Amino acid sequence: GQSLEQPSEVTAVEGAIVQINCTYQTSGFYGLSWYQQHDGGAPTFLSYNALDGLEETGRFSSFLSRSDSYGYLLLQELQMKDSASYFCAVRDEYPNAGKSTFGDGTTLTVKP
């Protein structure tokens, strides 16, 4: 099976940088995804890593180390609208391709 661990809450101030860590234990691994979910809304895709290293998408970056079963999401120049829950999700490998197991999420609060 799959299990993921991420901090339950993180607080930061506007304009700052915050890192949300995710460690995983999996029976199969194809890649690590990150999703953002605002209160009452649907999860939206942020980033995906299949290989080791850093992927950058605007203010958001995601990192993966397959050997350490570890990844993180880095949010820069924080804005109030970034207050949301952030989920890491492990994508399974073939023949279960497409199946994602989600962590329980990290609630980010951005303060002025």
Partner 1 sequence: EAEVAQSPRYKITEKSQAVAFWCDPISGHATLYWYRQILGQGPELLVQFQDESVVDDSQLPKDRFSAERLKGVDSTLKIQPAELGDSAMYLCASSPLAGRTSTDTQYFGPGTRLTVL
C-beta of 15 vs 53, nearer to partner 1 = 53
Decide if 18 contacts 78 (C-beta within 8 A).
yes
**What secondary structure letter does DSSP report for 82?**
G
Decide if 65 contacts 80 (C-beta within 8 A).
no
Determine if 110 is a binding residue for partner 1 (CB under 8 A).
no
Determine if 105 is a binding residue for partner 1 (CB under 8 A).
yes
The Cα 45–Cα 37 span in angstroms is 9
Determine if 42 is a binding residue for partner 1 (CB under 8 A).
yes
Determine if 28 is a binding residue for partner 1 (CB under 8 A).
no
Determine if 22 is a binding residue for partner 1 (CB under 8 A).
no
The distance of closest approach from Cβ of residue 81 to partner 1 in the complex, given in angstroms and rounded to an integer, is 18
**What secondary structure letter does DSSP report for 27?**
S
